[in-house]
Amino acid sequence: MSKASDGGRASGGGRASAKTGKAGLRRWRRMGLGQSGPVEELLREWEPFSVAACSRFLRRSFFRDRIWTFGTGKGRPAALLCYMGRAFFPLFKGPVPAPRFMDRLLTRVPFHAVQGLGEDALILEEIIARSGLEPVNSINYDLMSLDQGPSPDSLRAGPKGLFFRRPGVRDLDALLPLQEAYEQEEVLPEGAVFNPQVCRLNLRRILAEQRIVSAELDGWTVAKANTSAASFTRYQIGGVYVHPAYRGRGIARRLCAELARELLAEGKGLSLFVKKRNAAARAVYRGVGFNVRDDYRISYYQ
């Protein structure tokens, strides 16, 4: 049971009308032009737990995206609700009332996902459920982070002759089978239809905008890993995939370690989230040196 149901963080009771001294009424407000400073301050504080939201914030469109703050309207807010890229990112730090505008909002904006720390995502899902909307699929993850160099053992893993390089757009066709398999196995929500054209566009965008490393063995491209988001001081790693015929040989651990070493050398921290049911991947990341920081959750809506 989440705290939304026990009178805690998202209760709709007296907290919404509680005065906070001279600062006035604490309530939800939409962020306007020129009001991003306090929001960014809170996002920076919570960056290790919300790289995806921070990345979206840095690339936000004032016309398409919306951010609501909970507080007095002065100084740093106590909580955020971000709608960016047709997804909701809740950051509910401390007790907050349910946003009363949600019922109207859900009938006006298209959205496909709720994404964030496990407890926050569940709270928002309960609020959305009051409008009769339920997720078609929910996935629970471990949120992991790494802020020091990868383990020495991980940098020695893998078979002899394993070669790493930074691929470019010219390598799209060689990487495409790995990307297609990755999206079908790890990304697509249950019941979703795989679109090869969209997958190709996704890979082209990754090659153009993200950091990516590929692994080659015996002349074949057998694995890849890339960043999936970049925030103020952190990268988020995703897209890790090893061809099934080459698994169990330490390639994934070495690949992640090589990418991590390159990114950490820039003075950035690393974050990722991995499905709780994927024991093999969790073991790979622990072997590199990643530690679990919290629960993470993504729920998909039609």
- Domain region containing 174: 145-294
Residues 192 and 282 in one domain: yes
Domain tally, the chain: 2
Residues 174 and 280 in one domain: yes
Residue 300 within any structural domain of the chain: no
Residues 130 and 150 in one domain: no
Residues 79 and 167 in one domain: no
Residues 167 and 289 in one domain: yes
Q: What confidence score (pLDDT) does residue 218 get? A: 92
Tell me the pLDDT band of 3, cut-offs 50, 70 and 90: very low
Residues 235 and 112 in one domain: no
Is 74 or 29 the better-scoring residue by pLDDT?
A: 29
Q: What is the DSSP string of 52-112?
A: HHHHHHHT--TTT-EEEEEE-SSSS-SEEEEEETTEEEEEE-S--PPPTTHHHHHTTS---
Q: What confidence score (pLDDT) does residue 33 get? A: 84
The end-to-end CA distance of the chain, in Å, is 24
pLDDT tens-digit readout, 248-257: 999 999 999 9
Residues 153 and 274 in one domain: yes
Q: Which amino acid is at 74?
A: K
Phi–psi pair at 179, nearest 5 degrees: -65, -40
Is 86 or 25 the better-scoring residue by pLDDT?
A: 86
Lowest average pLDDT, out of 15-29, 79-93, 200-214, 254-268, goes to 15-29
Full-model pTM: 0.88
d(CA 40, CA 294): 21
Residues ≥6 apart with Cβ < 8 Å to 292:
142, 143, 144
Residue entry with tokens 């061809």:
243
Write down which residue in 134, 161, 182 finishes a domain: 134
> What's the Cα-to-Cα distance from 107 to each of 133, 190, 273, rounded to whole Å?
11, 24, 30
**Percentages of the chain per state (helix, strand, coil), in multiples of 5:** 35, 30, 35
Write down which residue in 76, 106, 134 finishes a domain: 134
pLDDT tens-digit readout, 106-126: 989 999 999 999 999 999 999
Residues 138-143 have a mean pLDDT of 97
